[in-house]
């Protein structure tokens, strides 16, 4: 049994970890921390978890208690994991960070976007980026995993088949993405109020969303060159879900049948990527509550632009579900363990 610690267990990704781990046959949550809610039972905040965790209480963050775990998830804002991770690693504890502390390898870029010095640059050489579809074998042997962001997951999985075959012009890539409100976190903010978001649809972060350097870094690896990406995120009035519409200009004449076959072959053995039949239009409710990414590929009007639509649940495949998928790999378990429940509908 894997003994689990969760740092930051009151946000949406923390409670989603609790939900997923409650049905995991090989994991037990031993410690869950929250400075503001220390002493409360988990179910006092999240009644849906009353049966799963009748006795588990939030506690003040304590390094010694976390050192008694096999794995610690950080479901915290950026800047927290990097301060505690070296001490945990020295104690033999593995770490998965759901925030951005370890995602960007160029620390000058990281410090520019996050406005603080990095606390443990010496660890970056061994950090593994936790996108299983591309880094599965490295994740199996990792001590520290940087769990990908939600937008980056949907965008990377959609572009990967095209980039690996060098089928699109890497100087002109576009990712037009939309997220539900839970992507903004659980904190009380005027911009997240129902009265502010209902019956509305808006763009944000055009001049430089924090996920942009992560996406560009990973697409550069895929393309083995420097990509020029325009990334435009939007907020839509729903709770969960991300839809990324991706555009690329074809570098050679490839039929839609060939594109469909490429995507199907690329992901044929992937348990959590579903390439939909030709002509399908994936929507976010197809993946609600699941760890699945569903996608479809198009070549509209037979012209030279290829369009991919990629949908995920931002709290599952975009965060906590992918983190559990990485945990399974790190501990030699079946990758799908605890993650095989189908999506919720309606």
Return the biggest CA–CA distance within the chain.
63
Across the range 220-243, mean pLDDT stands at: 95
Please report the sign of the dihedral spanned by the C-alpha atoms of residue 99, residue 103, residue 107, residue 112.
negative
| pLDDT for residue 145 is more than 90 | yes
Q: Give the pLDDT of residue 113.
A: 87
Across the range 129-153, mean pLDDT stands at: 98
Rounded CA-CA distance 297/305 in Å is 11
For the ranges 90-104, 174-188, 264-278, 331-345, the lowest mean pLDDT is seen at 174-188
| pLDDT for residue 125 is more than 80 | yes
Using 50, 70 and 90 to split pLDDT, how confident is the model at 210? Answer: confident
Helices (H) and strands (E) in the chain, counts: 11, 14
Question: b or e along 239-270 (b: 16 or more beta carbons within 10 Å of the residue's beta carbon)?
Answer: ebbbbbbbbbbbeeebeeeebbebbeebbeeb
Q: Give the pLDDT of residue 183.
A: 76
Query: Exposed, middle or buried: residue 37 (CB in 10 Å: 0-12, 13-18, 19+)?
Result: middle
Across the range 161-190, mean pLDDT stands at: 89
DSSP assignment, residue 7?
Answer: E
Q: Give the pLDDT of residue 268.
A: 98
Please report the sign of the dihedral spanned by the C-alpha atoms of residue 127, residue 129, residue 132, residue 136.
negative
Query: Are the C-beta atoms of 231 and 206 separated by less than 8 Å?
Result: no
- Domain spanning 151-314: CATH superfamily: Dihydrodipicolinate Reductase; domain 2 (3.30.360.10)
DSSP helix/strand/coil, 205: coil
Query: Are the C-beta atoms of 71 and 96 separated by less than 8 Å?
Result: yes
Which is higher by pLDDT, 9 or 150?
150
Q: Give the pLDDT of residue 13.
A: 95
Q: Give the pLDDT of residue 344.
A: 92
Rounded CA-CA distance 241/84 in Å is 31
CATH of domain 2-126: 3.40.50.720
Rounded CA-CA distance 346/176 in Å is 26
- The segment(s) of the chain belonging to CATH 3.40.50.720 are 2-126
Q: What is the rounded average pLDDT for all residues in the chain?
A: 95
Using 50, 70 and 90 to split pLDDT, how confident is the model at 174? Answer: very high
Using 50, 70 and 90 to split pLDDT, how confident is the model at 146? Answer: very high
Across the range 147-168, mean pLDDT stands at: 98
What tens digit of pLDDT does each residue of 73-118 get?
999 999 999 999 999 999 999 999 999 999 999 999 999 989 999 9
Rounded CA-CA distance 209/211 in Å is 5
Give Cα separations from 54 to 22, 48, 50, 129, 258 (angstroms): 11, 11, 5, 34, 53
| pLDDT for residue 188 is more than 70 | no
Across the range 114-133, mean pLDDT stands at: 95
Across the range 281-295, mean pLDDT stands at: 97
What tens digit of pLDDT does each residue of 13-31 get?
999 999 999 999 999 999 9
Active site residues: 150
Q: Give the pLDDT of residue 244.
A: 98
Q: Give the pLDDT of residue 273.
A: 98
- The segment(s) of the chain belonging to CATH 3.30.360.10 are 151-314
Phi and psi torsions of 260, nearest 5° = -60, -45
Where helices occur in the chain by DSSP H, the ranges are: 12-21, 42-45, 63-67, 81-90, 107-114, 132-140, 150-164, 194-197, 212-223, 256-266, 321-330
């Amino acid at each position: 049994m894997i003994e689990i610690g969760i740092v930051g267990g009151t946000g949406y990704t923390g409670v989603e970890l609790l939900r997923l781990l409650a049905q995991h046959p090989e994991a037990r949550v031993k410690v869950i921390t929250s400075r503001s809610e220390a002493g409360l039972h988990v179910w006092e905040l999240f009644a849906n978890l009353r049966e799963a965790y009748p006795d588990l209480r939030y506690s003040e963050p304590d390094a010694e208690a976390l050192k008694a775990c096999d794995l610690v998830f950080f479901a915290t804002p950026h800047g927290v994991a990097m301060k505690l991770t070296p001490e945990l690693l020295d104690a033999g504890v593995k770490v998965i960070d759901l925030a951005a502390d370890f995602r960007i390898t160029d620390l000058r870029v990281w410090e520019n976007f996050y406005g603080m010095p990095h606390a443990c640059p010496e660890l970056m050489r061994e950090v593994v980026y936790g996108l299983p579809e591309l880094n599965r074998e490295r994740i199996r042997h990792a001590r520290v995993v940087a769990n990908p962001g939600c937008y980056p997951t949907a965008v990377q999985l959609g572009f990967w088949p095209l980039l690996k075959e060098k089928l699109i012009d890497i100087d002109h890539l576009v990712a037009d993405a939309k997220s539900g409100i839970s992507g903004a976190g659980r904190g009380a903010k005027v911009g997240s109020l129902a009265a502010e978001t209902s019956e509305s649809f808006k763009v944000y972060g055009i001049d430089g969303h924090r996920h942009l350097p992560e996406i560009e870094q990973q697409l550069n690896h895929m393309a083995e060159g420097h990509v020029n990406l325009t990334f435009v995120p939007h907020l839509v009035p729903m709770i969960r879900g991300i839809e990324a519409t991706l555009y690329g200009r074809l570098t050679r004449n490839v039929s839609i049948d060939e594109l469909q076959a490429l995507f199907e072959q690329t992901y044929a053995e992937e348990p959590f990527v579903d390439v939909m039949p030709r002509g399908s239009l994936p929507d976010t409710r197809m993946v609600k509550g699941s760890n699945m990414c569903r996608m479809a590929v198009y070549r509209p009007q037979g012209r030279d632009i290829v369009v991919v639509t990629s949908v995920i649940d931002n709290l599952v495949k975009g965060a906590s579900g992918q983190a559990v998928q990485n945990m399974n790999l790190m501990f030699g378990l079946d990758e799908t363990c605890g993650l095989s429940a189908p999506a919720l509908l309606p």
